[in-house]
């Protein structure tokens, strides 16, 4: 039984610890918790883990956000992992920082990473965990906001939610998407 866990983000030190890179941060924390390490391979940083009898391939694409779909498709094909066993972790402007949402399908919501994945996989039906980043920015400043670093007063909640996102990934793998959706979708996270 194999799973593909994908964190979306942009490579480069200027993007580290930004809202847009929370997918990378969650997958890095997940791999670290399970004693793995990343290697640079084709189109992605890749870590292979074994957990509860399952093989997990964790990737952070090196393609930049707008071309994430090519890395996702390459690793799904290479590892022969079905779409239902693939989980995308992504930042979400439409959700407040206190929320996360797990869905088995849906629109890209204007997110270029999800747009790329839907286009290359030719479907909107793939599991994704949306990590709320809030939307407190002046009109016309969305790009600046998503590429900004977390504020000092947000950092504790972000760290807490990363830990909770790791638990959700584990639940997705061990219990399935339906049960995990019930656990997460109406929850408020606070410190």
pLDDT of 166 reads: 98
Domain of 133? 2-184
Give a yes or no: residue 95 inside a domain: yes
Give a yes or no: residue 85 inside a domain: yes
pLDDT of 91 reads: 97
Domain of 156: which CATH number?
Answer: 3.40.50.1470
Q: How many domains does the chain have?
A: 1
pLDDT of 56 reads: 98
Is 20 catalytic? The answer is yes
Give a yes or no: residue 82 inside a domain: yes
Strand pairing partners for 50?
Answer: 55
3-state secondary structure of 152: helix
* Residue 57 φ then ψ, to 5°: -110, 120
Give a yes or no: residue 61 inside a domain: yes
Low pLDDT (below 50) residues in the chain = none
Cα separation, 134 vs 39, whole angstroms: 32
Give a yes or no: residue 171 inside a domain: yes
pLDDT of 106 reads: 94
Q: pTM here?
A: 0.96
- Read off the pLDDT of residues 61-107 as tens digits, 9 standing for 90 and up: 999 899 999 999 999 999 999 999 999 999 999 999 999 999 999 99
Give a yes or no: residue 63 inside a domain: yes
Question: Residues 152, 119: contact at Cβ < 8 Å?
Answer: no
Give a yes or no: residue 191 inside a domain: no
pLDDT of 140 reads: 86
Give a yes or no: residue 112 inside a domain: yes
Catalytic residue among 20, 28, 34, 136: 20
pLDDT of 189 reads: 96
């Amino acid at each position: 039984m194999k799973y593909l866990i994908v964190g979306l983000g942009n490579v480069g030190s200027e993007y580290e610890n930004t809202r847009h890179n929370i997918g990378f941060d969650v997958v890095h924390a997940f791999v670290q918790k399970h004693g793995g390490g990343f290697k640079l391979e084709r189109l992605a940083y890749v870590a292979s883990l074994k957990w509860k009898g399952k093989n997990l391939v964790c990737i952070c694409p090196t393609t930049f956000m707008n071309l994430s779909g090519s890395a996702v498709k390459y690793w799904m094909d290479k590892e022969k992992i079905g779409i239902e066993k693939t989980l995308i972790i992504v930042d979400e402007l439409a959700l407040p920082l206190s929320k996360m949402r797990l869905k088995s399908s849906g629109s890209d919501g204007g997110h270029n990473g999800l747009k790329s994945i839907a286009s290359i996989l030719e479907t909107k039906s793939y599991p994704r965990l949306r990590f709320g980043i809030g939307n407190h920015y002046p009109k016309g400043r969305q790009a600046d906001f998503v590429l900004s670093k977390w504020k000092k007063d947000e950092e504790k909640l972000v760290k807490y939610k990363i830990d909770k996102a790791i638990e959700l990934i584990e639940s997705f793998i061990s219990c399935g998407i339906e049960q995990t959706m019930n656990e997460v979708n109406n929850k408020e996270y606070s410190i």
